Amino acid sequence: MKILFPNIVKWLGRAGGRLHSRLAAEVRSAVRSNAGQIGMRVIEEEMPLVKSVVYEALRIEPPVSMQYGKAKRDLLIRSHDAAFEVKTGEILFGYQPFATKDPRVFDRAEEFVGDRFVGEEGERLLRHVVWSNGPETEGPTVENKQCAGKDFVVLVARLLVIELFLRYDSFEIEVGSSALGSSVKLTSLKRASL
């Protein structure tokens, strides 16, 4: 969370007022239509833009960008252009941004596109979001190394975005660096104009 939350605020802050107003409208509308309550169903079904911006932040700057593991069996790994034989016991190293910023998969791969994962086509792209050491469309099991807390991470990240836009219409930031990645300072906050 020490890495993810500042990254989310950074990318949202850089995205600017148009995205902020869309997020504020979506969040407040969903909360109003549910008598002020925010439950799991509301978050999942009535806030697609909130969901998308969280996945986009995870895509563009995964909080843990490097993973490794030992091959449990011989396997063949394929890329767009080649195939690589991996023998049992060999160490595999993965740098997530190679996959999450693949221009053959993601249009404008180097840009933060807040609504990238909205709609049917956007939902299909989620299988290429691998921040949790596996595709976002799959779950952790005892047989894989996928993050056991991935659903919790996504939920609390969505709650952060929801809380921001329940309270504020927009904000501006100043970005620096820290030992854990980005240091983000809020320089301006516009209170919610209900």
CA distance 78 to 155: 32
What count of residues does the chain have?
A: 194
The pTM score is 0.92
Domains of the chain: 4-63+106-191 (1.10.630.10)
Region for residue 48 given its phi and psi (left: phi exceeds 0; alpha: psi -120 to 50; beta: otherwise): alpha
Please give the Cα distance from 122 to 139 (Å, whole number).
Answer: 19
132 annotated as belonging to a binding site for a ligand? no
- What the block records as the tokens of 63 is 């909080």
- The pLDDT tens digits for 61-106 are 999 889 888 988 999 998 888 999 999 999 999 898 988 999 999 9
Each of the 194 residues of the chain gets a pLDDT tens digit; together they read 889 999 999 999 999 999 999 999 999 999 999 999 899 999 999 999 999 999 999 999 999 889 888 988 999 998 888 999 999 999 999 898 988 999 999 999 999 999 999 999 999 999 999 999 888 999 998 888 888 999 999 999 999 999 999 999 999 999 998 888 889 999 999 999 86
Tell me the β-bridge partners of 185: 174
DSSP letter, residue 61: S
